[in-house]
Chains A and B, each alone.
Chain A
Amino acid sequence: MGILEKIKKNKWLAKLLFTNPPRVTKKIINGFRHEKDFYHVENTHVDMKELLKCALCPNMCRFECPALRVTQKEMYAPATKARLMYHGERGNLDLTDLHTAEVAYMCTNCDGCREWCPMDISTGDLLVQVRADLVDRDIHIPGTKEFNNRVIENQTAFVPDTFSRDSELNVKMDNPEVFYYTGCVMAEKKPESVKANMKVFEKAGIRYCTYTDERTCCGGPLATLGFNETVKEFARKNLDLFDKSGAKIIVTDCPACTNTIRNTYKALGFNHKFETYTSVEFYRHLLQEGRLTPTKPVNISITYHDPCISSRGKMGTIDIENARYIFSRIPGLDFREVHLHGTVTQCCGRGGVSHVHHPEISDTIGKQRIEQLRETGAEYIVSACPACEEGFMFNDGNPVLDIGEILARSIEE
């Protein structure tokens, strides 16, 4: 909105402010001046002004909150979570009481709340900030600190196994065009998807590297849990590796990794200049530029689960249309749209690393989404986020494919 438009919009407010008796106007101005008194807190990561705004809302986004839908308790409605954490940050509630602190983690960071917020607030983002305060105060709900320690030890979200160091996945070459950053989940749990993506890159003539033996977790899961110091350490390592590789473009098979490298690293002070793409974004470019032409019919029926992170919130809506464009280019594919899709996609349950600290809630959310996807009658669930795909597979949603696998199937050998 331009300045003129803003003036026009707020003319009524200016009139109200300046057509009162002086003592009333003085009170109004005082109110504006002392607003901070209602949200000021020393030494916090939390944007307290925004947290209070959220806390004062009647929960207009509550219907979209998967954590609330599954727990069915008022404490876990978005604005109520904000209110309780506002009281916690202000010292009215005791955050060392883990039942209270747990409120900050009853969120899958799906950003469904922001989608409906006229103030563009993500309750999930605010809760991530609260989690960072809790970490600073050494307050940990069960599972989170252990997870952080495990990732530090293994440099990946999982115990190290053969996949991430597998020679087939570990590609190095001189002057690569692209650094294909394999997400921990994809590399560990879905190596066949990594191979499919590699096939697509090769078919499109992309010079790429993976350095699976040197890469570390992007840190995204730890960022959502508030372990910012670990994320900084991982950011340093990964950015050094990207530099070393010589690639200028980073393509990830996990939109959460893209977000971490594109946005979180910068927010933590790492101002790198790498171009970052989700695989979906990148594939659309390849198709549009004619570097890739699907010709082989893929005669299956699929439905598509839009991952939250690349369909709303932190990275906008970039991949909603991109994914559908890719499907439209694949011959023979029977694409069936699920009722709630695009910006109103539903959480898979894996967001916010919920399966680490609240596995039952995470799995129930995942099962509810699988049920919605199955209503389409499609044979396959397809997504573009390994965490979503892993969650669906874990919760009996098979067969589940990554969008890269569908594209790879449409390419002649």
Chain B
Amino acid sequence: MNFDIVYKKRVEIGDINKLKTQLSEIVGTEWASTEEADLVAYSKDYQLITNRWIMEGTLPGLPHIIVWPENELQISQILKIANEQKIPVVPYGEGSGVVGAAIPVYGGIMVDMKRMTKIIEINKQNLTITVQSGANGKWLERELEKKGFLIGHVPQSFHTSTVGGWIAHRAAGQFSTKYGKIEDIVLSMRVVLPTGEIVDTKLYPRASDGPQIEKLFLSSEGTLGIVTQATIKMWPLPKKQEGVAYAFKNIEDSLKATQLVMQKQVYPAVIRIYDQNETERHFYAEPKAKNRVMVIFVCEAPIESLVDLEISEIRKSCIECNGTDCGVGPVKHWFETRFNVKESSIYIPKGQIADTIEISVMWDTAVECYHSVIAELKKIDGLILASGHASHFYPNGVCFYFTFSGVVQDGKTPEDFYVSAWDAAMIGTLKAKGSISHHHGIGISRARWMRDEHGPVLTLMKRIKSTLDPNNIMNPGKLYDEPERE
């Protein structure tokens, strides 16, 4: 193969053939590979700068070997070997993470979870499904749909992400205001620890029986072990779904309206606020939205009158904040385009460097935070687009989702621009007391901001990490520290 590699500091593996033999004995020869094309396939995830790199013939990282285990026992044996030989292990689901958390920055063993997709149990009385962590979201939805249920967790990556990935990144879906984020949805899990032990956390609706160990693995990004199975909530399919859209004069009015909705305990499945830039981009066909801020709401429930009541209360809140009724057109448009991901394919080859960055903030500094991030982004030389929408809502705060795009100025690299935009967004967020990530995670992109985010709590996290993973084999160079390159 003929590539440059960004993260060149790969561990030295004395005898790769010996390691391959050892791992093949565990998983079978068909399920362990050091073939070039296979290694290249696992060289990246969906951190957007990696798209620029591959066009330049550069791989982000390069694993030494790929394994595809089919059960926990195999994973346990793999991790024991890795632990003995101090070889990095990177768990891999479907590679749609956007912060670089699945890039093999030190090479090592890539553990792909795609063979572990079984549904273990659907419990209609408890409204739970127990499923292996390699299961794809859309596949799972289709299986449940046949039986009259849904999981309610629908991230934009739904078509290209796994249950394990959702847990590893403490993900949030488009319908999360009603059904909850993944931490509300996961009830228990099975984890293989870095030292090879297999542990099951207890299944309960709620308990007061010591620290919640399962919560530790949510957002651990593969650094504390490999989640192999989870029991998650499911819901009956809704009987009614209805949407409304209102346009507001500015972001302040739109936030006030949604805050009112949330604080009177109405929980629409979907709320989206698009700032003026994004409204112009997405809702150009809606004349009432010109130079305004579009907000869409979707309510659904198994009880029709509940939806009617929620819609009616939403309307009252919007009218109170001087919203203009835009009908259902914008809602339909949102449904039609909510999985359209094509900007990277179109604009990255045109030399633009772009990404999206999500953060969260309490209501009392929400408006300030939105303006702060946009202002910081606009300071960057070469920036051509800085816009935002709000995508997840709570009685106590909100998640903003910013988009930036720009061109590289003379004397700078694409990565320089990329990093400066990320730093700007982090600075803008922290200035307004926001939290640096809402649902995409830390990975590589945000690792350098973890001390600012957590202060001494980061030290506590590192202590937990070193206790569970004394040889730091699990996904090193992520979350707690930036990876070294040379």
Contact = CB atoms under 8 A, between A and B. Distances in A.
- Whether A and B are associated in the same complex: the answer reads yes
Interface of A: 8-9, 11-12, 16-17, 20, 23-24, 27-28, 30-32, 34-35, 38-39, 49, 52-64, 69, 72-75, 77, 80, 83-84, 86-87, 90-94, 97, 99-100, 103, 116, 118-119, 339-340, 375
Contacts of A103: 37
B87 to A, nearest CB: 20
A54 B345 contact: yes
B68 A92 contact: no
A279 B351 CA distance: 49
Contacts of A119: 342, 345-346
A93 B37 contact: yes
A8 B286 CA distance: 11
A24 B51 contact: no
Given A57-B341, A340-B142, A116 B1 contact: no
Contact of B341 (A12, A28, A31, A118): A118
11 contacts: A12-B277, A24-B382, A58-B160, A62-B136, A69-B139, A74-B41, A75-B38, A80-B41, A87-B54, A99-B38, A100-B37
Contact of A27 (B145, B342, B408): B408
Contacts of A11: 280, 284
B151 to A, nearest CB: 14
A328 B345 CA distance: 44
A339 B160 contact: no
A126 to B, nearest CB: 13
A28 B407 contact: yes
B138 interface: yes
B55 interface: yes
Contacts of B40: 84, 87, 93
A84 B37 contact: yes
B407 A60 contact: no
A64 B137 CA distance: 12
A57 B382 contact: no
A100 B35 CA distance: 8
Given A8-B285, A93-B1, A62 B159 contact: yes
A59 B349 contact: no
B467 to A, nearest CB: 32
Contact of B350 (A31, A80, A99): A31
Interface of B: 1-3, 35-38, 40-42, 46, 51, 54-55, 57, 66, 68, 92, 94-96, 112, 114-115, 117, 136-139, 142, 145-146, 157, 159-160, 277, 280-281, 284-285, 337, 339-342, 344-346, 348-352, 382, 384-385, 407-409
Contact of B3 (A59, A64, A75, A92): A92
Contacts of B139: 63, 69
A71 to B, nearest CB: 9
Given A9-B284, A56-B345, A118-B342, A20 B384 contact: yes
A28 B384 CA distance: 9
B385 A58 contact: no
A72 B112 CA distance: 9
B285, B339, B349, B350, most chain A CB atoms within 10 A: B349
5 closest cross-chain pairs (CB), A and B: A31-B351, A118-B340, A53-B345, A27-B407, A63-B138
Contact of A24 (B3, B96, B341, B384): B384
A62 B160 contact: yes
A59 B1 CA distance: 23
A281 to B, nearest CB: 29
Contact of A59 (B96, B342, B409): B96
B95 A74 contact: yes
A58 B407 contact: no
Contacts of A339: 142, 145-146
B269 to A, nearest CB: 21
A60 B284 contact: no
A20 B386 CA distance: 13
B303 to A, nearest CB: 26
A68 B384 CA distance: 38
B408 A52 contact: no
Given A11-B284, A72-B114, A60 B2 contact: no
Nearest to B282: A12
Contact of B94 (A8, A17, A27, A62): A62
A99 B342 CA distance: 30
Contacts of B37: 75, 84, 93, 97, 99-100, 103
Nearest to A100: B37
A72 B118 CA distance: 13
B346 A53 contact: yes
A101 B40 CA distance: 14
A97 B36 contact: yes
Given A12-B277, A62-B136, A92-B57, A30 B351 contact: yes
A365 to B, nearest CB: 15
Contacts of A340: 142
Contacts of A57: 341-342, 344-345
Contacts of B281: 12
A12 B138 contact: no
B355 to A, nearest CB: 13
B307 to A, nearest CB: 26
A38 B345 CA distance: 12
Nearest to A60: B159
A74 B285 contact: no
A97 B35 CA distance: 10
Contacts of A72: 68, 112, 114-115, 117
Nearest to B96: A58
Nearest to B145: A339
Contacts of A34: 351
B351 A56 contact: no
Contact of B35 (A20, A58, A99, A375): A99
Contacts of B2: 91-93
B407 A12 contact: no
A182 B7 CA distance: 57
B340 A77 contact: no
Contacts of B138: 63-64
B50 to A, nearest CB: 10
A356 B35 CA distance: 24
A63 B159 CA distance: 6
Contact of A93 (B36, B157, B280, B349): B36
A58 B350 contact: no
B68 A56 contact: no
B287 to A, nearest CB: 10
